[in-house]
């Protein structure tokens, strides 16, 4: 009878190969899990920053547009308001918050500006000349960036036709060129280049048109000079 030889300690080449393959597979799975966790963390952090920026910008727009001042150009016969807007921009007079600069009424314009591969929601501002004979432009205005990566802005105005009676039904429109009345409401929709549109912002101006007018004639629906 042939005696059974005891197997010496250690692993065969096949066993070592299988062990190494298992370790490599486990390392690959662990690396993939860590990479996914890192990407999820970065994505969540970026999303939180995006939401924070959106909320701050919307709060600022609500504050500024809601506080629009019915400023008028005094040298023009009809004493027109410094207010106007189209679907893609809005122009209005308002006080700049003291935390940003010295007080006073500025003339603002909010719109989307595209430069190269950048698309930004910006605010332009200037000190208006109230003795001018025409509405000021923004060629030398200061510019601030309100939000990055904004593809479009849609603005609508709720109000009545120019010189319409107060009994007439107001409607939404994508242009406001009545120089005697402010709209009753302003609706702002901001569409980012990537991601979902911002929640719709509906703003009610807090000042009446009479606040910036010596005498407002409700019969004519316009501002007139005193005396």
Least confident range of 6-10, 51-55, 57-61: 6-10
Number of domains, the chain? 1
171-189 mean pLDDT: 93
Sheet holding 83-86: strands in order across?
A: 83-86, 89-95, 105-115, 118-126, 142-148
165 CB contacts (<8 Å, ≥6 apart)? 221
79 CB contacts (<8 Å, ≥6 apart)? 72, 73, 213, 214, 223, 224, 225
Structure tokens at 102: 């010295």
19 in a structural domain = no
11 in a structural domain = no
Bigger pLDDT: 7 or 34? 34
pLDDT band at 172 (very low <50, low <70, confident <90, very high): very high
191-209 per-position pLDDT tens digit? 999 889 999 999 998 766 5
42 in a structural domain = no
Q: 190 with 203: CB under 8 angstroms?
A: no
Structural domain boundaries enclosing 106:
51-224
46 in a structural domain = no
pLDDT band at 210 (very low <50, low <70, confident <90, very high): low
Instruction: Flag whether pLDDT at 132 surpasses 70.
Output: yes
16 in a structural domain = no
103 CB contacts (<8 Å, ≥6 apart)? 95, 96
């Amino acid at each position: 009878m042939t005696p059974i030889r005891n197997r010496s300690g250690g692993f065969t080449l096949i066993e070592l190969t299988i062990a190494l393959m298992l370790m490599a597979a486990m390392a690959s799975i662990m690396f993939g899990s860590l990479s996914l966790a890192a990407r999820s963390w970065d994505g969540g952090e970026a999303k939180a920053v995006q939401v924070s920026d959106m909320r701050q910008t919307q709060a600022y727009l609500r504050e500024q547009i809601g506080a629009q001042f019915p400023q008028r150009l005094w040298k023009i016969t009809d004493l027109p308001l410094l207010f106007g807007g189209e679907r893609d921009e809005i122009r209005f007079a308002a006080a700049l918050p003291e935390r940003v600069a010295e007080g006073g009424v500025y003339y603002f314009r909010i719109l989307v500006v595209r430069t190269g591969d950048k698309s930004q929601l910006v605010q332009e501002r200037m000190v208006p000349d109230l003795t001018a004979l025409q509405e000021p432009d923004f060629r030398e205005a200061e510019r601030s960036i309100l939000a990055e990566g904004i593809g479009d802005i849609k603005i609508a105005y709720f109000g009545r036709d120019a010189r319409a009676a107060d009994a007439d039904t107001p409607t939404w429109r994508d242009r406001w060129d009545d120089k005697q009345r402010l709209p009753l409401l302003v609706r702002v929709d901001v569409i980012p280049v990537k991601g979902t549109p911002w929640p719709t912002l509906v703003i009610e101006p807090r000042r009446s048109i009479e606040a910036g007018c010596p005498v407002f004639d409700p019969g004519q629906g316009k501002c007139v000079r005193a005396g």
